[in-house]
Chain A
């Protein structure tokens, strides 16, 4: 179980402090698929880095199986949006997937079994000896997913992983992650700004407010599994859920624009009001 308890992140101190995240709490049960969605610039990546132990939160804590996250926990594996920057260009696909295994106490045979198994799960076994930059964007992200799987985490944290691939590849990768998650019986926390994706994939959607971020609403997604890009998205429940989440986020964006005295309000100054 992954628990996020009152996490907040403030940059700087005093009157100039920026409150990126105010107070975010939710839990992810074992084996559950949870999406986090919010208006752009609401600190989704910051939140994920706090949960992953890469960034210390200013307030609150994340707990993995009851233990407080201080540094990157062994149970979590993180997949970044920028596959091109998270893969090592000097290493073959095999060595990229091996990276997290090198310091684990495993036999050589065990290591190569994990590498081959995880590359098989994403359908890339024949590209073991290629360099990442010889592959397409979607394939590179599959290498990054295989690397995360080889690490044998209980939970996969994904930071807008399919944001930089084209729409068709994105659909394929969404189905791939659903399939792999069944196969590996893995928990997934998936951050995205894509509303369709946030409804299509998970068991629950955590909708965030604009910055300083709080949880707006947690929406259960009761769509039947296995999901299908065509059939699921034709269901009236899907349209309904999508509309609901869309409305929540749209309202947030409008609130944000008027609160900051932006485009619509003609720039009324808010002297001295802490944001």
Chain B
């Protein structure tokens, strides 16, 4: 199969399969007359009425803000903490049990305490909640990436008189970047999950808030519209991330291909 036909098939499948599923949904719901499963057309009209764009600013923008801020804080903190932990066996010895403990706690278990501690209905508690859980994939991948650096590369930098900070900037960070980015990608999907969760309680805005409030008032079409939006959001964020990754890590793909051959 040529590359072109393969790409054509891939893009076709990416579009055709969801369209077929949606058509199936519409056919089934049109006959079922179920309150729980509104017709696709009803959901889509609801989607358009809510999200394009009358409530976009009041609910989608705050949610995106929280994801963006929480994710950014997690990435910076994960790298800043992960580099020294990756470089020092002693630091790892002391820190790893704590990291393993906190990362084993599922997000819903910490939601109540986060509301108590950071009692706020504004962004502070939500951003902190998202950042906390997004931290771990970046942190652990940074530690692993830094530990995996070839000692020859570090020796080379040392022999040319590069100081510690310069070595971190020029060698450690770029060498660990592919793995850091892999961690960021996991964090990004966690960010969407924790965003929705954090908006369930003590909240007045956000797509998670709309989702739960619609359910509580038995408005199932808006609820479904929120579900569709959240799915799309996660999907689009991932696509954007992959596009950025391809640009930043173009060398990594080429290098791996050359090493494999």
Residues of A within 8 A of B (CB): 49, 52-54, 71-72, 74, 76-78, 80, 82, 84-86, 88-91, 99-100, 102-103, 131, 133-134, 151
When the two chains form their complex, are residues B175 and A80 in contact, meaning their CB atoms are under 8 A apart?
no
* B146-175 interface with A by 8 A CB criterion: 150, 152-153, 155-163, 166, 170-171, 174-175
Is B177 on the interface with A (CB-CB < 8 A)? yes
When the two chains form their complex, are residues A90 and B175 in contact, meaning their CB atoms are under 8 A apart?
yes
Which chain A residue has the least Cβ–Cβ distance from B169? A102
Q: Which of B69-77, B187-195, B234-242, B253-261 contacts A (4 or more CB under 8 A)?
A: B253-261
When the two chains form their complex, are residues B160 and A100 in contact, meaning their CB atoms are under 8 A apart?
yes
When the two chains form their complex, are residues A85 and B152 in contact, meaning their CB atoms are under 8 A apart?
yes
Question: When chains A and B are docked, how far (Å) is the Cα of A78 from the Cα of B158?
Answer: 10
When the two chains form their complex, are residues B161 and A131 in contact, meaning their CB atoms are under 8 A apart?
no
Given the interface contacts A85-B153, A103-B163, A103-B166, does A90 sit within 8 Å of B252 by beta carbon?
A: yes
Beyond A80-B152, A89-B251, A91-B174, 5 additional pairs, beta carbon < 8 A:
A86-B156, A88-B171, A99-B170, A103-B161, A103-B163
Given the interface contacts A86-B152, A90-B175, A133-B258, does A52 sit within 8 Å of B251 by beta carbon?
A: no
Per the CB 8 Å criterion, the residue count for chain B at the interface is 24
Given the interface contacts A80-B152, A88-B174, does A54 sit within 8 Å of B258 by beta carbon?
A: no
Per CB-CB distance, the 4 closest pairs between chain A and chain B, nearest first, are A100-B160, A133-B258, A89-B255, A85-B152
Which chain A residue has the least Cβ–Cβ distance from B258? A133
When the two chains form their complex, are residues A131 and B255 in contact, meaning their CB atoms are under 8 A apart?
yes
When the two chains form their complex, are residues B254 and A131 in contact, meaning their CB atoms are under 8 A apart?
yes
When the two chains form their complex, are residues A133 and B255 in contact, meaning their CB atoms are under 8 A apart?
yes
Question: When chains A and B are docked, how far (Å) is the Cα of A234 from the Cα of B170?
Answer: 47
When the two chains form their complex, are residues B150 and A90 in contact, meaning their CB atoms are under 8 A apart?
no
Question: When chains A and B are docked, how far (Å) is the Cα of A85 from the Cα of B156?
Answer: 9
Given the interface contacts A80-B152, A86-B152, A90-B177, does A72 sit within 8 Å of B255 by beta carbon?
A: no
Expressed in whole angstroms, the minimum distance between the Cβ of A149 and any Cβ of chain B is 12
Most chain B Cβ neighbours within 10 Å, of A80, A89, A100, A102: A89
Chain B's interface: helix, strand, loop or mixed, by majority? helix
When the two chains form their complex, are residues B170 and A54 in contact, meaning their CB atoms are under 8 A apart?
no
Residues of B within 8 A of A (CB): 150, 152-153, 155-163, 166, 170-171, 174-175, 177, 251-252, 254-255, 258-259
Question: When chains A and B are docked, how far (Å) is the Cα of A91 from the Cα of B251?
Answer: 8
Residues of A close to B166: CB separation below 8 A: 102-103
Expressed in whole angstroms, the minimum distance between the Cβ of B222 and any Cβ of chain A is 47
When the two chains form their complex, are residues A54 and B174 in contact, meaning their CB atoms are under 8 A apart?
no
Q: From the candidates B160, B251, B254, B259, name the one contacting A99 in the complex (CB within 8 A).
A: B160
Question: When chains A and B are docked, how far (Å) is the Cα of A53 from the Cα of B155?
Answer: 10
Residues of A close to B259: CB separation below 8 A: 84, 133
Expressed in whole angstroms, the minimum distance between the Cβ of B178 and any Cβ of chain A is 9
A-B contact pairs, 5 of them (CB 8 A): A72-B161, A77-B159, A86-B156, A100-B161, A133-B254
Given the interface contacts A88-B153, A90-B174, does A72 sit within 8 Å of B251 by beta carbon?
A: no
Expressed in whole angstroms, the minimum distance between the Cβ of B191 and any Cβ of chain A is 27
Which chain B residue has the least Cβ–Cβ distance from A103? B166
Question: When chains A and B are docked, how far (Å) is the Cα of A235 from the Cα of B155?
Answer: 40
Expressed in whole angstroms, the minimum distance between the Cβ of A252 and any Cβ of chain B is 28
Which chain A residue has the least Cβ–Cβ distance from B177? A90
Residues of B close to A90: CB separation below 8 A: 174-175, 177, 251-252, 255
When the two chains form their complex, are residues B258 and A102 in contact, meaning their CB atoms are under 8 A apart?
no
Given the interface contacts A88-B153, A90-B174, does A131 sit within 8 Å of B251 by beta carbon?
A: yes
Residues of B close to A91: CB separation below 8 A: 174
Given the interface contacts A85-B153, A90-B175, does A72 sit within 8 Å of B160 by beta carbon?
A: yes
Residues of B close to A71: CB separation below 8 A: 158
Which chain A residue has the least Cβ–Cβ distance from B248? A90
Expressed in whole angstroms, the minimum distance between the Cβ of A227 and any Cβ of chain B is 28
Question: When chains A and B are docked, how far (Å) is the Cα of A194 from the Cα of B153?
Answer: 25
Expressed in whole angstroms, the minimum distance between the Cβ of B50 and any Cβ of chain A is 45
Which chain A residue has the least Cβ–Cβ distance from B178? A90
Residues of A close to B252: CB separation below 8 A: 89-90
Expressed in whole angstroms, the minimum distance between the Cβ of B114 and any Cβ of chain A is 38
Which chain A residue has the least Cβ–Cβ distance from B160? A100
Q: From the candidates B152, B163, B177, name the one contacting A82 in the complex (CB within 8 A).
A: B152
